[in-house]
Structure 1
Protein backbone atom coordinates (compact mmCIF):
# COMPACT_ATOMS: atom_id res chain seq x y z
CA UNK A 1 0.00 0.00 0.00
CA UNK A 2 2.87 2.39 0.70
CA UNK A 3 4.02 2.13 -2.93
CA UNK A 4 0.78 3.59 -4.28
CA UNK A 5 0.53 7.27 -5.10
CA UNK A 6 -2.46 9.58 -5.31
CA UNK A 7 -2.84 12.57 -7.60
CA UNK A 8 -4.63 15.31 -5.65
CA UNK A 9 -6.01 18.49 -7.23
CA UNK A 10 -7.39 21.45 -5.29
CA UNK A 11 -10.71 22.50 -6.86
CA UNK A 12 -12.03 25.13 -4.43
CA UNK A 13 -10.55 28.13 -2.64
CA UNK A 14 -9.18 27.86 0.89
CA UNK A 15 -10.46 31.35 1.78
CA UNK A 16 -13.08 31.32 4.52
CA UNK A 17 -12.47 27.65 5.39
CA UNK A 18 -11.81 26.28 8.85
CA UNK A 19 -8.22 26.68 10.02
CA UNK A 20 -7.83 22.91 10.34
CA UNK A 21 -8.97 22.46 6.72
CA UNK A 22 -6.46 25.07 5.54
CA UNK A 23 -3.74 23.22 7.44
CA UNK A 24 -4.72 19.96 5.71
CA UNK A 25 -4.23 21.67 2.33
CA UNK A 26 -0.82 22.91 3.46
CA UNK A 27 0.08 19.44 4.74
CA UNK A 28 -0.75 17.95 1.35
CA UNK A 29 1.37 20.62 -0.38
CA UNK A 30 -1.52 22.49 -2.01
CA UNK A 31 -1.66 26.28 -2.18
CA UNK A 32 -3.43 27.23 -5.44
CA UNK A 33 -6.69 26.26 -7.15
CA UNK A 34 -6.16 23.62 -9.89
CA UNK A 35 -2.70 22.80 -8.49
CA UNK A 36 -1.92 19.07 -8.69
CA UNK A 37 0.41 17.19 -6.35
CA UNK A 38 1.28 13.51 -5.99
CA UNK A 39 1.26 12.12 -2.45
CA UNK A 40 2.00 8.65 -1.11
CA UNK A 41 -1.11 6.69 -0.14
CA UNK A 42 -0.70 6.52 3.65
CA UNK A 43 -3.36 6.55 6.39
CA UNK A 44 -2.20 10.05 7.40
CA UNK A 45 -2.61 11.47 3.90
CA UNK A 46 -5.92 9.61 3.46
CA UNK A 47 -7.20 11.22 6.66
CA UNK A 48 -6.36 14.71 5.43
CA UNK A 49 -7.91 13.97 2.04
CA UNK A 50 -11.10 12.61 3.62
CA UNK A 51 -11.40 15.67 5.88
CA UNK A 52 -11.33 18.11 2.95
CA UNK A 53 -12.73 15.86 0.21
CA UNK A 54 -15.30 18.51 -0.74
CA UNK A 55 -12.53 20.74 -2.12
CA UNK A 56 -10.34 18.10 -3.79
CA UNK A 57 -10.30 15.82 -6.80
CA UNK A 58 -8.36 12.60 -6.16
CA UNK A 59 -7.12 9.93 -8.61
CA UNK A 60 -4.89 6.90 -8.15
CA UNK A 61 -1.64 7.01 -10.12
Structure 2
Protein backbone atom coordinates (compact mmCIF):
# COMPACT_ATOMS: atom_id res chain seq x y z
CA UNK A 1 0.00 0.00 0.00
CA UNK A 2 1.56 3.27 -1.13
CA UNK A 3 -0.65 5.61 0.91
CA UNK A 4 0.28 6.09 4.53
CA UNK A 5 -2.44 5.82 7.14
CA UNK A 6 -2.71 7.05 10.70
CA UNK A 7 -4.72 5.81 13.66
CA UNK A 8 -6.63 8.52 15.54
CA UNK A 9 -8.09 7.82 18.99
CA UNK A 10 -10.49 10.09 20.88
CA UNK A 11 -9.16 10.50 24.44
CA UNK A 12 -11.25 13.43 25.69
CA UNK A 13 -15.01 13.91 25.54
CA UNK A 14 -17.04 16.43 23.57
CA UNK A 15 -18.72 18.06 26.58
CA UNK A 16 -18.03 21.83 26.81
CA UNK A 17 -16.34 21.91 23.39
CA UNK A 18 -17.02 24.46 20.68
CA UNK A 19 -19.37 23.51 17.84
CA UNK A 20 -16.45 23.55 15.39
CA UNK A 21 -14.46 21.10 17.52
CA UNK A 22 -17.46 18.77 17.70
CA UNK A 23 -17.86 18.90 13.91
CA UNK A 24 -14.16 18.16 13.37
CA UNK A 25 -14.30 15.11 15.64
CA UNK A 26 -17.39 13.84 13.78
CA UNK A 27 -15.61 14.40 10.42
CA UNK A 28 -12.87 12.08 11.62
CA UNK A 29 -15.55 9.46 12.33
CA UNK A 30 -15.17 9.49 16.11
CA UNK A 31 -18.12 9.31 18.51
CA UNK A 32 -17.04 7.85 21.87
CA UNK A 33 -14.04 8.21 24.13
CA UNK A 34 -11.59 5.42 23.39
CA UNK A 35 -12.84 4.88 19.85
CA UNK A 36 -10.18 4.68 17.14
CA UNK A 37 -10.34 5.14 13.39
CA UNK A 38 -7.78 4.75 10.64
CA UNK A 39 -7.65 7.65 8.19
CA UNK A 40 -5.36 8.52 5.28
CA UNK A 41 -2.33 10.61 6.18
CA UNK A 42 -3.07 13.60 3.97
CA UNK A 43 -3.14 17.38 4.52
CA UNK A 44 -6.94 17.45 4.93
CA UNK A 45 -6.99 14.96 7.80
CA UNK A 46 -3.84 16.45 9.34
CA UNK A 47 -5.57 19.85 9.40
CA UNK A 48 -8.65 18.44 11.13
CA UNK A 49 -6.45 16.64 13.67
CA UNK A 50 -4.49 19.86 14.31
CA UNK A 51 -7.72 21.65 15.30
CA UNK A 52 -8.60 18.99 17.92
CA UNK A 53 -5.08 17.84 18.85
CA UNK A 54 -5.84 18.29 22.57
CA UNK A 55 -8.65 15.73 22.33
CA UNK A 56 -7.04 12.95 20.25
CA UNK A 57 -3.91 10.84 20.05
CA UNK A 58 -2.31 10.02 16.72
CA UNK A 59 -0.10 7.08 15.82
CA UNK A 60 1.07 5.37 12.67
CA UNK A 61 -1.26 2.60 11.48
CA UNK A 62 0.23 -0.78 10.62
TM-score (norm 2): 0.92
The offset of 1:57, in angstroms, is: 0.6
> Paired residue for 1:11?
11
Between Structure 1 and Structure 2, whose CA radius of gyration is higher? Answer: 2
| Cα root mean square deviation, aligned | 1.0
* CA distance in 1: counterparts of 2:16 and 2:6, whole angstroms: 26
> Paired residue for 1:44?
44
**2:61 paired with 1:54:** no
Unaligned ranges ≥5, structure 2: none
Greater helix proportion? 1
Unaligned ranges ≥5, structure 1: none
Count of equivalent residues? 60
* CA distance in 1: counterparts of 2:14 and 2:50, whole angstroms: 16
After the TM superposition, which segments of 4 or more aligned residues of structure 1 sit over 6 Å from their partners?
A: none
